Amino acid sequence: MTDNPPPSSGGLTASLHRAIWEVDIRTLPRWQAILLGVVRIGHAVIRSVIGEQLTLRAMSLVYTTLLSLVPLLAISFSVLKGFGVHNQIEPLLLGVLEPLGDKGVEITTEIIGFVENIKVGVLGFVGFALLFYTVVSLMQKIERAFNHTWHISRERSLGQQFRDYLSVIIIGPALVFAAVGIMASLLNTAVVEMLSAIHPFGFLIKSGAKLAPYVMIVGAFTFIYMFIPNTRVRLRSALIGGLIAGILWNATGWIFASFVVNSAQYAAIYSTFATLIMFLIWLYLGWLILLIGASISFHDQHPEYVTATRREMRLSNRVREKLALLIAYLIGESYYRNAPGWTADGLAQRLGTPMDATEAVLSALEARDLLVRTSAEPAAFLPARPLETTLVADVLHAARVADEDGHLNPDRLPHEHAVDTILRDLDEATTTTLQGRTLKDLALSGAAPCSGPKNEDETP
């Protein structure tokens, strides 16, 4: 892992760099540490928006949303119709598109018209499968955008996608409208009405009713940040991202509504296309806010990525080999203690390494059939072979040959006798030095017991 060098220019820029990045945050009073942490994460998030393709991914999600919005609402409409609350879709859309003003009402009317024209019952199996696939493709693209933000290369399996996406698409809307209905019923009960007449309680109830929509928005963002990435996200990190995203959503909505009110000249220029253009811009801003919140959650959970300059993962051979041996040691030691299996997040926290580096080495060991993932969530790693017959040299070899392919590997390079002799001597020296040591020997050779996997909800 290498960092680009800090700016060398003097003056204000250099002073700010020293004040923000060259201070040990652990030595500061709590309020200063929190403030400096916010500034650092803000810098990292802005850098991710500018340089890590968040804007391009938001644009891509806008395109997919246009294709998937009507099918998504059609499926939700069919499910909610069974609960008798399908008429609540229109108020929900109006709330989401409220910053568009009259144009939001127009767009909502058109979308609801499209939804009502879709007869899910007469589509047939093929038609329904295509409808469902369109919706699933949106969920897949959202997950890929989140996994990119979280530096995760492995997606959910097909079975996990079917189960998780189905629960969001079908069960999610029913739960949302059920919660809204329960809240409305509680506010209309005789007890609440009686308490509203009492001065302190009445003020609190009215304030709570006004804050409820904002709380629900923050809760929705928090749920998305915990559910969508294919990794374990701590509640605190998801809540921080959800809170900031909720604030940005409401602030952006207010600003955008003011812009729409004063955009009569755009209607004169673009005529009937003005409504569509405003809709696309609002969709883009909404997706960008969602991805910004995800970036905030990620940087809060993984402070090792909060650096002055963009970090590029470059593992040297020595680092890769040592990391592979450490992972093999921890997993083997945990196996012989009958302790819970190590997850990728747990290993990254225990070793103090970025998730990219940890996942890269885990994938290398998996590719050589040295480790296997469990089907649990989050997946844990277990030995794929008996440790008493697996050589330590196999782990080193897996680390050395990682990322080799058929187009570029040692066998495809020119053969020179002098060079080949040196490489052969190195391999023989490694084998002689290790003298047939197995992973069981490595796992049981620690002088002191190694701490087991952390609870991933704890702060590392």
Please check the confidence at residue 458 and state whether its pLDDT lies above 60. Answer: no
Residue with the bigger pLDDT between 355 and 313: it is: 355
| Six-digit token string for 410 | 């040692």
Q: What per-residue confidence (pLDDT) applies to 379?
A: 83
Closest alpha carbon to 309 in 10, 15, 20, 12 = 20
CA atoms of 388 and 4, how far apart (whole Å): 43
Average pLDDT for 207-224: 81
DSSP type of residue 2: E
Q: What per-residue confidence (pLDDT) applies to 121?
A: 59
Asked if 72 contacts 135 with a C-beta cutoff of 8 angstroms, the reply is yes
Please check the confidence at residue 329 and state whether its pLDDT lies above 90. Answer: yes
Please check the confidence at residue 136 and state whether its pLDDT lies above 90. Answer: no
Q: What is the three-class DSSP state of 454?
A: coil
CA atoms of 120 and 116, how far apart (whole Å): 10
When mean pLDDT is compared across 46-50, 124-128, 143-147, 435-439, the lowest value belongs to 124-128
Q: What per-residue confidence (pLDDT) applies to 404?
A: 78
CA atoms of 299 and 42, how far apart (whole Å): 9
When mean pLDDT is compared across 18-32, 106-120, 181-195, 314-328, the lowest value belongs to 181-195
How far from chain centre, in Å, is Cα 389? 38
pLDDT digits (tens, 9 = 90+) for 41-77: 888 888 888 776 788 888 888 988 888 877 777 777 7
Mean pLDDT of the chain: 78
Beta-bridged to residue 342, according to DSSP, are: 381
**Separation in Å, CA 243 to CA 8, 28, 217, 220, 322:** 36, 25, 9, 10, 39
Instruction: Indicate the pLDDT class of residue 455, thresholds 50, 70 and 90.
Output: very low
Please check the confidence at residue 232 and state whether its pLDDT lies above 90. Answer: no
Residue with the bigger pLDDT between 19 and 8: it is: 19
Asked if 7 contacts 14 with a C-beta cutoff of 8 angstroms, the reply is yes
Average pLDDT for 216-222: 87
CA atoms of 277 and 10, how far apart (whole Å): 45
CA atoms of 97 and 16, how far apart (whole Å): 40
Residues in CB range of 344: below 8 A, 6 or more apart: 231, 355, 358, 359, 362, 378, 379, 381
When mean pLDDT is compared across 7-11, 411-415, 446-450, the lowest value belongs to 446-450
Q: What per-residue confidence (pLDDT) applies to 447?
A: 43
Looking at the chain, the whole-number percentage of residues with pLDDT higher than 90 is 17
Instruction: Indicate the pLDDT class of residue 315, thresholds 50, 70 and 90.
Output: confident
pLDDT digits (tens, 9 = 90+) for 87-99: 666 777 777 788 8
- Segment holding 169, helix H or strand E: none
When mean pLDDT is compared across 3-7, 269-273, 326-330, 357-361, the lowest value belongs to 3-7
Average pLDDT for 411-427: 87
CA atoms of 8 and 2, how far apart (whole Å): 17
Q: What per-residue confidence (pLDDT) applies to 296?
A: 93
Cis preceding linkage at 410, omega within 30: no
Per domain, the residue ranges of the chain are 54-305, 320-443
When mean pLDDT is compared across 74-78, 102-106, 276-280, the lowest value belongs to 74-78
| Six-digit token string for 445 | 């050779």
DSSP type of residue 85: -
Instruction: Indicate the pLDDT class of residue 448, thresholds 50, 70 and 90.
Output: very low
Q: What per-residue confidence (pLDDT) applies to 73?
A: 74
Neighbours of 102 (CB within 10 A): 10
CA atoms of 3 and 1, how far apart (whole Å): 7
Average pLDDT for 185-193: 59
When mean pLDDT is compared across 184-188, 320-324, 413-417, the lowest value belongs to 184-188
Q: Where are the beta strands (DSSP E) in 300-392?
A: 311-312, 342-343, 371-373, 380-383
Instruction: Indicate the pLDDT class of residue 103, thresholds 50, 70 and 90.
Output: confident
Asked if 143 contacts 156 with a C-beta cutoff of 8 angstroms, the reply is yes
Average pLDDT for 165-182: 65
Q: What per-residue confidence (pLDDT) applies to 154?
A: 78
Please check the confidence at residue 326 and state whether its pLDDT lies above 90. Answer: yes
Average pLDDT for 225-248: 90
Closest alpha carbon to 116 in 156, 172, 68, 77 = 77
Phi, psi of 175 (to 5 degrees): -65, -40
Q: What per-residue confidence (pLDDT) applies to 366?
A: 92
pLDDT digits (tens, 9 = 90+) for 350-397: 888 888 888 889 999 998 999 999 887 778 899 999 999 999 999 998
CATH number of 320-443: 1.10.10.10
Q: What per-residue confidence (pLDDT) applies to 381?
A: 93
Closest alpha carbon to 333 in 387, 384, 392 = 387
Residue with the bigger pLDDT between 405 and 451: it is: 405
When mean pLDDT is compared across 113-122, 130-139, 256-265, 346-355, the lowest value belongs to 113-122
Instruction: Indicate the pLDDT class of residue 410, thresholds 50, 70 and 90.
Output: confident
CA atoms of 92 and 76, how far apart (whole Å): 12
Helix ranges, 118-198 (H): 124-149, 158-166, 172-187, 190-196
**Helices 355-367 & 392-400, crossing angle to 10 degrees?**
110
